């Protein structure tokens, strides 16, 4: 496990261990709650934040692509999945949770990454703690100005048949009143199928859900409201000052295929890595290409 040792400048540096450890799950206490975590592999310290907001960790396959190069930490965000907290549910608190995890694992600096909403959270952490950030992995993240949701929704609906769009509207109406879990499961199956490069690729959803736990709706609403407020304030200038390398991995068939490009363009050390024939969950569609990109990036940080 990476540990801290004195540096020549009087501070501390992360000493990277190449001795692999067995995957270890633990609950880590944070102010106002407890976070479920899973750590695996050896090498550079890396944390991965799941999408949502309000969902749960589903990034074990991504960790498996790099856990011979990195000590990978996975977790459920507060109030989600196996983690517990009463709030608050805002970006400052979620960033503070990440910082508490870094301190708990005694990493001086680490790579922060995430998928979708989790990519935004990783970026917010890097902007708040640039001195603690070795690099950022922005996987299928969103644009950095609010308003991207409307375009994504239109693209998603265009990928459904007319009958499916009608079914989706009916399911949505029932869920607003008293829809059951079958309605919710079918609604999500239709919507998430549009995140893939093709309907054939989306067939993976028939054998495995994207997430193992239901969405925490109250958490999702609170975080989204704060997320919008933060983007409305503008993060462009902060991003221009971020000196850590930023890898933006994005499927060309994502419902928002180019929104994240500005992250790579504005970051001084940004890298744009589009993946062909991939949508929003590239590790399920183009695992070999994604693995190559991630490993090259982590290798450049060693």
Predicted pLDDT at 158: 95
Predicted pLDDT at 207: 80
Q: Burial of 155 by CB count in 10 Å (0-12 exposed, 13-18 middle, 19+ buried)?
A: middle
Predicted pLDDT at 130: 98
Q: Where are the alpha helices (DSSP H) in the chain?
A: 60-66, 91-105, 117-128, 148-158, 162-177, 181-193, 217-233, 236-240, 261-266, 282-285, 287-301
CA 109 to chain centre: 19
Distance CA 76, CA 225 (A): 20
Predicted pLDDT at 1: 34
- Residues paired with 34 in a beta bridge: 29, 84
- Asked if residues 209 and 189 have their Cβ atoms less than 8 Å apart, the reply is no
Predicted pLDDT at 18: 54
Distance CA 266, CA 271 (A): 10
- Asked if residues 194 and 159 have their Cβ atoms less than 8 Å apart, the reply is yes
Q: pLDDT per residue over 247-302, tens digit each?
A: 999 999 999 999 899 999 999 999 999 999 999 999 999 999 999 999 999 999 98
Query: Coil, strand, or helix at residue 277?
Result: coil
Predicted pLDDT at 16: 53
User: For residue 53, is the peptide bond before it cis, meaning its omega torsion is within 30 degrees of 0?
Assistant: yes
- Asked if residues 17 and 1 have their Cβ atoms less than 8 Å apart, the reply is yes
Q: Burial of 49 by CB count in 10 Å (0-12 exposed, 13-18 middle, 19+ buried)?
A: buried
User: For residue 88, is the peptide bond before it cis, meaning its omega torsion is within 30 degrees of 0?
Assistant: yes
Tokens of 121: 């959270």
Query: Coil, strand, or helix at residue 203?
Result: helix
Those residues whose C-beta lies under 8 Å from the C-beta of residue 138, and which sit 6 or more positions away, are: 113, 114, 119, 122, 123, 246, 247, 248, 249, 260, 263, 264
Fill in the DSSP letter of residue 131. G
Tens of pLDDT, residue by residue, the chain (302 residues): 333 333 332 333 444 555 556 678 999 999 999 999 999 999 999 999 999 999 999 999 999 999 999 999 999 999 999 999 988 999 999 999 999 999 999 999 999 999 999 999 999 999 999 999 999 999 999 999 998 888 999 999 999 999 999 999 999 899 888 767 888 888 988 999 999 999 999 998 888 778 888 889 999 999 999 999 999 999 999 999 999 999 999 999 999 999 899 999 999 999 999 999 999 999 999 999 999 999 999 999 98
Q: pLDDT per residue over 82-114, tens digit each?
A: 999 988 999 999 999 999 999 999 999 999 999
Through-space distance between the first and last CA atoms of the chain, rounded to whole angstroms: 16
Distance CA 129, CA 122 (A): 10
Q: Cβ of 138: how many Cβ atoms within 10 Å?
A: 30
């Amino acid at each position: 496990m990476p540990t801290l040792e004195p540096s020549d400048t009087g501070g501390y540096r992360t000493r990277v261990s190449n001795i692999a450890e067995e995957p270890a799950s633990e609950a880590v206490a944070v102010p106002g709650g407890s976070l479920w975590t899973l750590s695996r592999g050896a090498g550079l310290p890396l944390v991965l934040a799941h999408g949502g907001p309000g969902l749960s960790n589903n990034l074990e396959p991504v960790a498996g692509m790099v856990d011979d190069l990195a000590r990978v930490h996975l977790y459920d965000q507060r109030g989600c999945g196996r983690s517990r907290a009463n709030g608050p549910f805002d970006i400052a608190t979620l960033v503070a949770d990440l910082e508490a995890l870094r301190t708990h694992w005694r990493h001086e600096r680490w790579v922060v990454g995430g998928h979708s909403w989790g990519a935004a959270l990783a970026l917010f952490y890097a902007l708040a703690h640039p001195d603690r950030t070795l690099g950022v992995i922005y996987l299928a993240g969103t644009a950095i100005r609010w308003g991207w949701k409307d375009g994504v929704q239109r693209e998603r609906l265009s990928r459904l048949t007319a009958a499916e769009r009608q079914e989706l509207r009916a399911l949505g109406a029932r869920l607003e009143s008293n829809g059951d879990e079958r309605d919710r499961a079918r609604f999500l199956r239709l919507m998430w199928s549009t995140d893939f490069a093709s309907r054939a690729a989306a067939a993976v959803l028939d054998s495995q859900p994207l997430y193992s736990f239901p969405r925490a709706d109250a958490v999702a609403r609170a975080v989204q409201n704060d997320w919008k407020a933060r983007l409305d304030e503008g993060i462009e200038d902060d991003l221009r000052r971020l000196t850590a390398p930023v890898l933006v991995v994005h499927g060309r068939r994502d419902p928002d295929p180019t929104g994240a490009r500005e992250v790579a363009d504005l970051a001084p050390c940004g890298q744009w890595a589009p993946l062909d024939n991939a949508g929003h969950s590239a590790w399920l569609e183009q695992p070999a290409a994604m693995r190559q990109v991630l490993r090259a990036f982590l290798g450049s940080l060693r």
